[in-house]
Amino acid sequence: MKFIAIFILIITTMNAFDLKPWTKKIEQLSDEERNVIINKGTERPFIGKYTNEKSRGIYACKLCDAPLYDSSDKFDSHCGWPSFDDEIKGAIKRVPDKDGRRVEIVCANCGAHLGHVFEGEGFTQKNTRHCVNSISLNLKKKPDAKEEKLSYAYFAGGCFWGVEYYLEKLDGVKEVISGFMGGHVKNPSYYEVVRTNTGHLEAVEVVYDASKISYEEIARTFFEIHDPTQINGQGPDIGAQYLSAVFVSSDKERETIKKLIAELEVNGYRVATKILKKDEFFRADESHQNYYDKKGSKPYCHGYIKRF
C-alpha cells in the first residue's frame, strides 16, 4: 500500500520525469523531504541546514546525487533560504510554476524540486537568485588548506545570541556558532537546556585566524560585551545555563584568562566568570544562528562597556 501511494504521488506531481531509477531513494525520504522534493512544498525560512553554511564544496541533489551548485556561487540574500547566483552548467531545469508567476527550478537529472529562481533583484553582478530549499540538497565539502590555520575558542556569557553578535564583528574572526557546552546530555535541544537540568551553558564557538587576531584580544572583548560580575545569569536571563564562563583548551588559554580576570579585579570588578575545561560543543539548531542579524535588531542584554 505504501509503495502504491508513493507511485501515485510520483505520477501526479512529477510526470514529466522518469523517476523509476530513484524509486528506492524516494521510499527512504522522510515525510518532510518528500513534501518538498516530490510534492513541491517549501521549507520554512531560516530553519534550513544550509541557510548560513559557509563551507567550501559542491551542493548535490538529495534524490539522485547530481552536482547542482558550487559553494563559490552561494551568497547571503537574507531571504531565509540558501541562495546561489549561478548553477553548475546543465544541472538545473527551469519550468513555469503552477502559480503562473514564478519560475520553478528542478534537478535536470531527476526532476526533484529545488525551489525558485528570481532575476533582476540586484543582489550580485549576475543579477540572479536561485532560492533553494536546504532539504533538497546535500553538501559535499571540499578540504580547505586555510582551515588548518584556523583556531577555536569557547565562551559562555548569557544568551548566546548576544555573544555571537558582538564577537562575530571582530576583524579576524571568521565565524561564531551558537551552541551548548559543559553538560551531560548528548546533542541537547534548546528546550532541553532551558527546561531541564542538562548541565549545559549557552556557549559560542569562535572560529578565528590567529594571524589576524589573538586569543587574548577575543577574550578581552568577551569580558567587555557582557557583565562578568553577575553570578546568577546575564541581565534579565536568570538560570544556570546563562552563567559566565570560559572553556579553555590549553594551559596558555587558562593563564590568559587568569591574567585578564586579575586586571579586571584591579579595576574594581568582582569577577564571577568561571574557568572550565573545554568539553564537547553541540551546535544549536539553525534558528539560533545569526539570530539578531536575521531579526534586524541589536542584543537586549549585551552591549560594549570598556573595562580594561
What pLDDT is stored for residue 13 in this prediction?
43
- 17: which 3 cell numbers? 520525469
- 303: which 3 cell numbers? 552591549
Range ranked top by mean pLDDT from 18-22, 48-52, 140-144, 275-279: 275-279
- pLDDT (average), residues 226-247: 95
User: Does 53 score more than 50 pLDDT?
Assistant: yes
Q: What is the pLDDT of residues 167-180, one digit of tens each?
A: 999 999 989 999 99
User: Does 145 score more than 50 pLDDT?
Assistant: no
- Strand pairing of 67-70 and 150-157? unpaired
- Kindly tell me the number of DSSP H helices and DSSP E strands found in the chain: 8, 17
What pLDDT is stored for residue 10 in this prediction?
41
What pLDDT is stored for residue 20 in this prediction?
65
The answer to whether 22 and 107 have CB atoms below 8 angstroms apart is: no
Known catalytic residue at 159: yes
Q: What is the pLDDT of residues 192-223, one digit of tens each?
A: 998 888 999 999 999 999 999 999 999 999 99
- 146: which 3 cell numbers? 586555510
- pLDDT (average), residues 10-16: 43
Q: Rounded to an integer, what distance in angstroms lies between the CA atom of residue 305 and that of residue 308?
A: 9
Confidence of residue 116 (pLDDT cuts 50, 70, 90): very high
Higher-confidence residue of 15 and 57: namely 57
- pLDDT (average), residues 31-54: 93
Range(s) of the chain covered by CATH 3.30.1060.10? 145-295
HSE (side-chain half, CA atoms, 13 Å) at 119 = 7
Q: Where are the alpha helices (DSSP H) in 86-183?
A: 160-167
Confidence of residue 21 (pLDDT cuts 50, 70, 90): confident
3-state secondary structure of 43: coil
What pLDDT is stored for residue 17 in this prediction?
59
- CATH, domain 2-141, list 2.30.290.10, 3.30.930.10, 2.170.150.20, 3.10.129.10: 2.170.150.20
> Which residues touch 228 (CB under 8 Å, ≥6 apart)?
157, 244, 261, 264, 269, 271, 272, 273, 307
Q: Rounded to an integer, what distance in angstroms lies between the CA atom of residue 124 and that of residue 73?
A: 10
- pLDDT (average), residues 240-258: 97
User: Does 163 score more than 80 pLDDT?
Assistant: yes
Residue 67 — left, alpha, or beta (φ > 0 → left; ψ -120 to 50 → alpha)?
A: beta
Q: What is the pLDDT of residues 282-300, one digit of tens each?
A: 988 878 888 888 788 899 8
What pLDDT is stored for residue 195 in this prediction?
87
What pLDDT is stored for residue 204 in this prediction?
97
- pLDDT (average), residues 17-39: 86
User: Does 76 score more than 50 pLDDT?
Assistant: yes
Confidence of residue 18 (pLDDT cuts 50, 70, 90): low
Residue written as grid cell 551558537: 178
What pLDDT is stored for residue 221 in this prediction?
98
Catalytic residue among 61, 107, 110, 159: 159
CATH architecture of 145-295: 2-Layer Sandwich (3.30)
Known catalytic residue at 131: yes
For the chain, what percent of residues have pLDDT higher than 70? 92
The answer to whether 266 and 294 have CB atoms below 8 angstroms apart is: no
Range(s) of the chain covered by CATH 2.170.150.20? 2-141
Q: Rounded to an integer, what distance in angstroms lies between the CA atom of residue 282 and that of residue 180?
A: 5
Q: Rounded to an integer, what distance in angstroms lies between the CA atom of residue 294 and that of residue 13?
A: 33
Residues counted in the chain: 308
> Which residues touch 45 (CB under 8 Å, ≥6 apart)?
79, 80, 81
The helix, strand and coil proportions of the chain, stated in percent and rounded to the nearest 5, come to 30, 25, 45
Catalytic residue among 61, 107, 110, 131: 131
Closest CA to 51 of 17, 74, 32: 74
- 129: which 3 cell numbers? 537568485
What pLDDT is stored for residue 6 in this prediction?
44
